Copies of this chain bind each other. A is one copy, B any other.
Amino acid sequence: MLAQGVGRCLLPPCSRPARSSRGLCSAAAADAVDRVRALLQLCADRHYICPGESNAEMFRRGWSCGYGPLGVELRRNLLQQWWHSVSGSRARVFAVDTLSSSVERGAGGARVVGSELFQRILGQPELSGERLAQELKRLLLSAPSLRPSLLQGALEQFVPSLEMVNKKLPFGLAEAGLCFQPSDGSGCLAEVTQTSLVWFCSPRTSSQWLDHWARHRLKWWRKFALSPSDFSSVEVPEHELEENTSRGMKILYNFPWGLESLETLWCRGDAELLQAYKGVRSKLQSRDGRKSIPHVVSVSGNMDRGVIAFLSNSLQQLRREDSKKRLQHRKVLKIHPVLAPVKVALDTGKGATMELRQVCEGLLQEFLEARISAWPGYLDTLPTSLEHLNAKYDEMGVLFTVVIGENTLESGLLQVRSRDTTIKETMHISEIRNFVFKYISAAEKF
C-alpha cells in the first residue's frame, strides 16, 4: 500500500477509464469511475466523511480517515454489531484491550519517538557527526513500536485468560482498536480500525474452526447487505500463505474498483504462541489430557473498509421522470436499518415556527432517550422544498422523515415518510417512537 498517491489521484490505475479502443471494457471502467466519484462525493456532502480529496482517498483505501457525524455513527453501529455477533454468540469469547504501543514487540512497524527526547539530542552542541548519528540510531532502535495488528496483544493475554477458563479449550479473545501500518515512501501512516478474534483450540480442530468462523463471518457481512452477493469468501491459495500459517480464508467485497479483503482468517499453528512465551511449553498447556500446545485461528477485520463497503453496497442510483417529464436522478443510501446512522429526521412544515420547533425538540428528546438516533432537521432554517428535503435525507440514508406541521398542533397527527418505500403515512405523535423502535428491532432479528 503506497501512500504516495494520496491527494493526487482519486482512483487507482486499475479503475481509470482505459484509453484503448476496447470499447465495452472502457465504458465499464468509465462507469465504475463515475460510481466511485458519486459515492465519495455523496459521503462528503452528507457528513459521512470530512471534505477534502486526500481524506476521500484515505477513505477509499479502507484506512481510517476524518469522519463526519454520520460516518462515526455508522462505524460505531458496525463495531457494536461485530461485538455482539462475536462475543455474544458464544459463551467462550472474552473481550480484551491491549496497548497500541510496546517496547518489547520491537521488530517491525512504526517507531514512536518523543519529540523532547530527540530535540534534546539535537540540541547538544558537543554531539556532531559520528556521535550524533550513533545517538539518533540508538534512540530509534530502542523506541517503542506501534502495533500493526491486534494479534500480538491477544497472544500475550493467552496465559491469564487460560487461567480464567480453567485451562479448558476452545476459547477466544476479542478486541477492536486502532492499528498502524506505515506506508513506504512518503512516511505517511495508515491507521486502520481493526477487529480481531483470536481463537485458541486443540490442534486437530483448528481447520474446522477456520471453516466455522469463515462461514460465521460471511453470514454476518451479508446480513446487513443490500446485495449480499457482493460479499464473498475465498480460500487463500497455498503459495500466498503467510509465514507460520497453514491455511487462510478471506472475506472479500466487490468494490467498483475490484475485490478487496474485509476480513482475513488464518490457521496459525502454535509457533507464534510459543514465541510469545519464549518457548515455555508448560505455561501453555490446556487441560485436555494431552501435552499439546493450543493452535491459534485468527480472524481480523478492517472496519474502516467495512464502512465504505456498506456505503458502496447500499447506494442506489435511480432514474425516473418527474411530473413534468424531466429526468430525475434519485440517489438513495439504502443502509440496513440496524446500521443506518440516522433513524429519524425531524422537520417542520408550514405553521407557527416557535410552537412547531418546541414539538420537535420534545420529540427529539424522546427519541434520544430511547437510544434512537435522530437528526434535528428543524434547526435548518433555510427554506427548502419537501422534495429537496426528501432527496437530502435519502442521500443520508435516513430511515424515516417526520414532518410536524400545523395539523400536529391541532390533532397530534404527523407525516412519516419511509426511505425505502417513499410512502407517506399519517400517524399520531404518541405512536411514532414505538413505530420506529419496532421497525429497527424487527430488522435486527431478521
Q: Interface residues, chain A, CB within 8 Å of chain B?
A: 47, 50-51, 64-69, 71-73, 75, 84, 88-89, 91-92, 94-101, 103, 107-118, 122, 128-130, 132-133, 136-137, 139-140, 142-146, 153, 156-157, 160, 164-166, 168, 175, 177-178, 180, 182-184, 187-189, 191, 361, 364, 368-369, 371, 376, 379-382
Contacts and interface: CB of A to CB of B under 8 A. Distances in A.
Given A136-B140, A139-B187, 19 more contacts: A50-B98, A64-B99, A66-B98, A68-B164, A72-B95, A75-B97, A107-B115, A108-B115, A110-B113, A112-B146, A114-B189, A128-B130, A129-B129, A136-B137, A144-B187, A166-B379, A166-B380, A166-B382, A168-B379
A241 to B, nearest CB: 23
A116 B183 CA distance: 9
Which DSSP category, helix, strand, loop or mixed, fits chain A's interface?
A: mixed
A97 B71 contact: yes
Contacts of A368: 84, 88-89
Copies in the complex: 2
Given A50-B160, A128-B130, A137-B122, A96 B112 contact: no
Nearest to A145: B115
Given A111-B112, A182-B116, A182-B117, A160 B68 contact: yes
A287 B24 CA distance: 51
A60 B287 CA distance: 34
A133 B115 CA distance: 16
B114 A96 contact: no
Nearest to A122: B137
Contacts of A132: 133, 137
